[in-house]
């Protein structure tokens, strides 16, 4: 069944081993893996992968919006480009900001008459259309996951019913043979 395993197109910072580890974890939960169940589980894993990507995208959209607001806060816009502000903000939020980046962020917040909470709120407002699109993509993946889970359950349930019927048939055959063997 290894030929079913998908190889996603990875983005920077993503790990193929993490993707396959997640897939192996889902596959290990199958009672009796059939090619159909495996294909459905692969699709389920890809949905999880896309949800994770879209959640990261949402944070990046908000971050980029906040950096743009800060970059526009200075009257000397050529001094601060969006990339420089974005990098400083990233370090600021990660807690490993250097003195120069901290001074730049604090200076831009002051010039924009903003607190960090104000900046986040304005960034959210400015990016809300794009954030909503990302939320819709995440919601669509969740819907797909629900349908896949129902399909997996249906395939698994069908195989359990067939096994149960086989066991009942074997039991009936054994009982019938026992009746035939009894001396009259």
Q: Give per-residue pLDDT as tens, 24-65.
A: 999 998 877 888 989 999 999 999 999 999 999 999 999 999
Separation CA 116–CA 70 (nearest Å): 10
Domains of the chain: which residue ranges? 41-181
What tokens were used for 169?
């048939």
Q: Are 159 and 32 in contact (CB under 8 A)?
A: yes
What tokens were used for 10?
């990875």
Q: How does pLDDT run across 96-155, given as a tens digit for each residue?
A: 999 999 999 999 999 999 999 999 999 999 999 999 999 999 999 999 999 999 998 888
Q: Are 89 and 66 in contact (CB under 8 A)?
A: yes
Give CA angle at 64 (62, 75), nearest 5°.
120
Predicted TM-score of the model (pTM): 0.75
What pLDDT shows up at residue 125?
Answer: 97
Sign of CA dihedral 67, 69, 73, 77: positive
Greatest pairwise CA separation for the chain in angstroms: 108
CA distances from 50 to 77, 85, 138 (A): 36, 28, 8
Q: Are 70 and 62 in contact (CB under 8 A)?
A: no
The segment with the largest mean pLDDT, out of 20-29, 53-62, 78-87, 172-181, is 53-62
């Amino acid at each position: 069944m290894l030929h079913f395993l998908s190889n996603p197109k990875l983005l920077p910072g993503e790990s193929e081993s993490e993707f396959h580890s997640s897939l192996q974890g889902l596959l290990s939960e199958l009672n009796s893996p059939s090619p159909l169940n495996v294909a459905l589980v692969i699709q389920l894993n890809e949905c999880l992968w896309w949800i994770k990507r879209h959640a990261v995208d949402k944070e990046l959209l908000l971050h980029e919006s906040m950096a743009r607001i800060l970059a526009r806060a200075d009257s000397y816009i050529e001094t601060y480009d969006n990339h420089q502000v974005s990098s400083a903000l990233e370090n600021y939020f990660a807690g490993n900001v250097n003195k120069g980046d901290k001074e730049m962020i604090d200076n831009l917040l002051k010039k924009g008459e903003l607190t960090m909470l104000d900046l986040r709120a304005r960034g959210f407002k400015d990016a809300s259309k794009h954030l909503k699109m990302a939320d819709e993509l995440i919601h669509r993946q969740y819907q797909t996951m629900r349908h896949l889970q129902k399909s997996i359950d249906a395939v698994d349930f069908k195989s359990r019913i067939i096994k149960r019927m086989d066991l009942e048939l074997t039991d009936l055959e054994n009982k019938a043979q026992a009746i035939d063997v009894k001396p009259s």
